[in-house]
Structure 1
């Protein structure tokens, strides 16, 4: 009778297809669609959990990525591995953080501060490096609590709230006039035929200053392509970023408690463009700048 059995669960006659057939169809969709399909019926739920589906959603080089992991990645199924990689893991000796974009399975990377270009970064009177070895396991529930670290420098005493750290160290700007930071990543590591955006991930110390207007210059370069935009890490204290609307470009609070600001975007075609170069500088207005805390540079797909 109509309305009973498989049809009563909303799948209709398609629910009578062999499970491997349903799995093949789901593997041609997206991770998000597959999860939604699992709600249709028991047959769809079983098919949507199969290794054949989630193997298709993983990047083709996922075995290589796992071999580059700092710590072994444990999983009991391909589906579990997919969602494990949707959280960040450290790779390449901790120089990079890797994760999958949850809804599409495309690759995201973050460059650690030590692998970035930070002008005067090795001069202790200008920048300070804070080691947080316990923060490398970002999946430890205790890290959901705010970690307070008090550092004392000649200018003042800052209280810094650090949440959801990916790397063992962060870079803290003490005081510079010439501000110039950046980094690069091989586009072969990224998903092909994908539009990416580059972001600086940061926080502010409680007494930061000099990081608002006039704006900083953000740049992204890949091969012959180059973009430059004006951005402001901070407003001017009155809630204003300046007169140029570009200075307000996508600065937001992240779910992990850090801030990010978009530096620009690029299209990764076949992965043969070389290194993607990202930068942020303020070298024209030589006023003092202080209180920036850098977690890294992230590249992730535009959704």
Structure 2
């Protein structure tokens, strides 16, 4: 047997011995090790062997992938959350938004980062004149995750504000805030002037501009203002980034705003679902 063949055999023997040594560990120890990886790695580990499968599917591993306050969060769900294991719960919370707080917010776990995502419904936002039925119309929409959304009938002063406490979000994470909306076929006056968007946390503030209709927009975006771009979403809505911020873990209030108040023209046809906060990729 040549030297290369001997070396290969030794390497294979070493790997087999290492795997055997790992499998000799108690399942609880393997679960603890796997809990320091990621959900994707845990699923891959389950394919190694029966012993690894038991450890990778255990509650010990998957509870580490859930937020520390997951029990409090699911207690706010509008309907009971049923699950037989922590892995099943993680899959549920990362696959579809959970409607909480009387149907005014949704919660979701980002399956790639294990970070918290929230969406504030239109009812959770402060929208100027939204209580006036001549200005705004509240109605259920089949494509909305919330019981109702709101459509702009006609105003000249458009201002939408939202706020959330950083303690609800994952610490040590950079978040983006996004206005989620649609433009009705009858939409008018929304692109004459650029809209202003901003996110403010403590002393930090980021600002930008947005033209809802680039062809209609008559004013150039100021050079120092970053122009935001409309993006289609997988759920059929549109979104625009209001800004981003870093959540270092201390308790602060995040203030988010979308407004077009300089133009005197009438505006209509904006359908608002809410503001989403999710980790930046």
- Note if 1:126 corresponds to 2:135: yes
1 CA distance for matches of 2:267 and 2:26? 64
Deviation string 1:231-288 (CA, Å, 9 cap, x unpaired) is 23343269x9966686653531111111111100111112412x21101001112222
Whether the aligned pair in 1 keeps the contact of 2:208 and 2:242 (CA below 8 Å) is yes
Q: Give the equivalent residue in structure 1 for 2:257.
A: 279
- Note if 1:112 corresponds to 2:121: yes
**Which residue of the other structure, out of 84, 105, 123, is the alignment partner of 1:76?**
84
TM-score by length of 1: 0.80
User: 1:117: Cα distance to partner?
Assistant: 0.8
- Note if 1:300 corresponds to 2:278: yes
Whether the aligned pair in 2 keeps the contact of 1:32 and 1:104 (CA below 8 Å) is no
User: 1:82: Cα distance to partner?
Assistant: 0.9
2 CA distance for matches of 1:16 and 1:211? 66
1 CA distance for matches of 2:19 and 2:153? 61
Q: Secondary structure at the match of 2:64?
A: helix
- Note if 1:21 corresponds to 2:26: no
Whether the aligned pair in 1 keeps the contact of 2:207 and 2:226 (CA below 8 Å) is no
**Which residue of the other structure, out of 173, 183, 193, is the alignment partner of 2:162?**
183
Change (3 A) 1:38 1:242: farther
1 CA distance for matches of 2:49 and 2:195? 53
- Note if 1:44 corresponds to 2:45: no
2 CA distance for matches of 1:241 and 1:36? 53
Whether the aligned pair in 1 keeps the contact of 2:209 and 2:221 (CA below 8 Å) is no
Q: Secondary structure at the match of 1:166?
A: coil
- Note if 1:169 corresponds to 2:169: no
List gaps (5 residues or longer) in structure 1: 133-146, 148-162
| Bigger shift: residues 207-216 or 120-129 | 207-216
2 CA distance for matches of 1:100 and 1:210? 37
2 CA distance for matches of 1:241 and 1:76? 57
Q: Pairwise mapping of residues 83-94 of structure 1 onto structure 2 (< 5 A)?
A: 83-86=91-94, 87-94=96-103
Q: Give the equivalent residue in structure 1 for 2:3.
A: none
Change (3 A) 1:55 1:227: same
Change (3 A) 1:171 1:19: same
2 CA distance for matches of 1:284 and 1:46? 62
Q: Give the equivalent residue in structure 2 for 1:217.
A: 196
2 CA distance for matches of 1:212 and 1:38? 53
**Which residue of the other structure, out of 224, 229, 232, is the alignment partner of 1:253?**
232
Q: Give the equivalent residue in structure 1 for 2:62.
A: 54
How many corresponding residue pairs?
269
Provide the aligned C-alpha RMSD in A.
Answer: 2.8
